[in-house]
């Protein structure tokens, strides 16, 4: 069965809208979750590491004020794309890990900003 639940799977909205994406760990408590972004024909790029109970760690070049991450519980992390613009259109994927185990990925969220 699924290990990770990501919602919504598809979002189409107008420029300037803020979009929230949820990532839930179904099988275990995840102190660490990851958020990736994938543009067409490119690889997954890590955006940030979400840490339960503390601030997220962002990769170089990722604006923390634009991509707000909240990891308030051991099973839920949210990514909010604030004031989204067309260049933010992408495939956003979360993953969870149980320390020594390989990461399991959510189904992804396809975001289209008009």
Partner 1 sequence: RKEVEQDPGPFNVPEGATVAFNCTYSNSASQSFFWYRQDCRKEPKLLMSVYSSGNEDGRFTAQLNRASQYISLLIRDSKLSDSATYLCVVNPPGTYKYIFGTGTRLKVLA
Question: Which chain residues interact with partner 1 by CB under 8 A?
Answer: 32, 34, 42-46, 49, 91, 93, 95, 97, 99, 102-108, 110
Q: Is the peptide bond before 13 cis (omega within 30 degrees of 0)?
A: no
Q: Which is nearer to partner 1, 9 or 83 (CB)?
A: 9
Minimum distance from residue 47 beta carbon to partner 1 (Å): 11
Minimum distance from residue 37 beta carbon to partner 1 (Å): 11
Q: Cα 52–54–39 angle (5° rounding)?
A: 70
Q: Which is nearer to partner 1, 30 or 113 (CB)?
A: 30
Asked if residues 30 and 98 have their Cβ atoms less than 8 Å apart, the reply is: yes
Minimum distance from residue 110 beta carbon to partner 1 (Å): 7
Q: Which is nearer to partner 1, 80 or 91 (CB)?
A: 91
Question: H or E stretch including 91?
Answer: strand 90-96
User: Could you tell me the two tokens for 6?
Assistant: 């990501």
């Amino acid at each position: 069965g699924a290990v990770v639940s990501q919602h919504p799977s598809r979002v189409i909205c107008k420029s300037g809208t803020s979009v929230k994406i949820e990532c839930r760990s179904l099988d275990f408590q995840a102190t660490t979750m990851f958020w990736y972004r994938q543009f067409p024909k490119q690889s997954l790029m890590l955006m940030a590491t979400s840490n339960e109970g503390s601030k997220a760690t962002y990769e170089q070049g990722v604006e923390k004020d634009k991509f707000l991450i909240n990891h308030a519980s051991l099973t839920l992390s949210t990514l909010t794309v604030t004031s989204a613009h067309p260049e933010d259109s992408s495939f956003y994927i979360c993953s969870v890990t149980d320390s020594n185990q390989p990461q399991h990925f959510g189904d992804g969220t396809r975001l289209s900003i008009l």
